Amino acid sequence: MSRHAKILEQIGIPTAPCTGENVIEYLEGWDRRYNSGIALRYTVFPLPVAGVSRAVHEVYLKGNDPVTGKPIMQEIIDALTKPTTSDEQITGLPEESSEPRLLAPDTEENLQELFKAKDWTDYLPVVLPTEVRVAAMLKGTSHKPEEVVKTMTWPGGGRQLTVEKAAVCAVMAGARPQYLPVILALATMAPFGNSTTSMANMLIVNGPIRKEIGMNSGTGAMSPYNEPNAVIGRAFTLLSKTAGNLHAGLTNFSSLGNNLQYNNCCFAENEEGLPEGWNPLSVQFGYTKEDSVITVALGWTYISCVGEVETEYPPQMLISDYMKSLSAVGSAALLCADPLVAGMLHDHEGFTSKEMLSQWLSKNTKVPVQTFWGNGLTTSFYSNLGIQGLEPYATWKKLPPDSLIEPFTNPKAINAVVVGGQTNTIWFITDFRIGKGVLIDAWR
């Protein structure tokens, strides 16, 4: 909203943006400072705004701004008509400020408390990143400490994430130096999901480094039973919160949050358990089997099959059934399947490649069109594209509500990863979207 208001203001059209009281500090502070660079006159509405009737909205309109106490309608008129104040005439983005490289010496206990007070932790104890520990961590890469891994512009600002800062987070997370190349590759994708929704990430490692550092792709790979799985995932959280400057209520407004963000569901693909013809995820996206790659998936939800596969009802049928509960935003689905399930799909159901399974799921998963448009995110992403004429969304906009559609239109966005220890025929179907992973070898 601030972006659109800024565009209008810049061409001389006054605006009166309105917002909820939970984000006004962000808008007048962080957003002005780092994103819009201009003062916008926000009118604040009480909460909740979403999910309540028009009658409630009318009451709000006739009431007062809960922050200023002024009548809302008068405030909107003032925003559109009153001349700018001297403070409002200050425009432009300031220089990025940052914390000092070194903190003053203190006790372990005090420093742990300081890190919590600064919101630099996930509120589990961290390993304090002393100079000695960070120097030892930096031995895990040939890259120089001052090298910029990424300039982080989301959400706002231009913070430089250096190799040293990533090493600091690696120490804090409890990593060993040999994990650092993975964490540096991961740093290129930071920060993690940040949205008012429960956006989260999943981290999948492919290639020789899985064995080199002892990652788990077998029994309990998605649970807390392995050090590199645990701490590499945690490092992404700490990178996102510190270098990414994500703080609840200031720069992050996820209403419920997502428990996956403690570890970001970090695991390695069980490449040894892939059926013949099924390529590792990284190979599907153009890397070789000799490349070590980390893939950062983005999504919200995962659903377990709960029990073992019943041969009377083939696994792809139940997977498709459960996919109907996913939003289909970006056509995205990610199947996490035990090697036993992958083997059944391959040997008994004839899916000789992951791509073949993706095609089948794309064609055979159908929902009423009203279900597809019933999701606010889907609507905000695709409704406008449909109005502009992009198919199939243009057609879907015109269909009767109960018409069946195939919402996962893009089979390339339906992926499968094989993971697990073959103790049961278990799978998860998720709405996580996969893109091309990052080459870890470039960060050795």
Partner 1 sequence: MEINEVPRIKCEELRQLIDNGESVVIIDTRKSSGYNAEHIKGAVNIYFNPSGYQMEREMMLSALPLDTLLVFYCDCIDDSESALMAMEMMNLGYDTNNIRALNGGFLRWRELDYPTESV
The correct pick among 74, 384, 395, 423 for binding partner 1 (CB under 8 A) is 384
432 binds partner 1 (CB under 8 A): no
Distance CA 18, CA 358 (A): 43
Helix (H) or strand (E) holding 19: strand 18-20
Helix (H) or strand (E) holding 372: helix 369-373
412 binds partner 1 (CB under 8 A): yes
Output 193 or 218, the one with its CB closest to partner 1. 193
Give min distance, CB of 127 to partner 1, in A: 29
390 binds partner 1 (CB under 8 A): yes
Output 321 or 391, the one with its CB closest to partner 1. 391
Output 214 or 435, the one with its CB closest to partner 1. 435
Output 57 or 436, the one with its CB closest to partner 1. 436
Output 197 or 422, the one with its CB closest to partner 1. 197
Output 165 or 433, the one with its CB closest to partner 1. 433
Give min distance, CB of 440 to partner 1, in A: 16
Q: What three-state secondary structure class fits 233?
A: helix
- For the segment 25-44, give every residue that binds partner 1 (CB under 8 A): 35
Distance CA 375, CA 149 (A): 36
365 binds partner 1 (CB under 8 A): no
Distance CA 387, CA 26 (A): 32
Distance CA 338, CA 425 (A): 6
239 binds partner 1 (CB under 8 A): no
Q: What three-state secondary structure class fits 405?
A: strand
245 binds partner 1 (CB under 8 A): no
Of residues 217, 214, 216, 201, the one with CA closest to residue 337: 217
436 binds partner 1 (CB under 8 A): yes
> What are the strands, taking DSSP E only, across 65-195?
148-152, 159-162
Query: Is residue 80 within 8 Å of residue 14, measured between CB atoms?
Result: yes
- CA separation, residue 433 to residues 46, 147, 155, 261, 303 (Å): 35, 30, 21, 16, 15
The correct pick among 331, 365, 425, 430 for binding partner 1 (CB under 8 A) is 331
Q: Which runs of consecutive H residues, i.e. helices, occur in 95-193?
A: 108-117, 131-138, 163-173, 180-187
The correct pick among 229, 411, 419, 420 for binding partner 1 (CB under 8 A) is 411
Q: What DSSP state is assigned to residue 421? A: -
Give min distance, CB of 438 to partner 1, in A: 10
- For the segment 185-224, give every residue that binds partner 1 (CB under 8 A): 193-195
Beta bridge partners of 150: 161
Residues found near partner 1 in the complex (CB under 8 A): 3-4, 7, 11, 35, 153-156, 193-195, 284-285, 296, 298, 329-332, 381-382, 384-385, 388-391, 393, 409-413, 433, 435-436
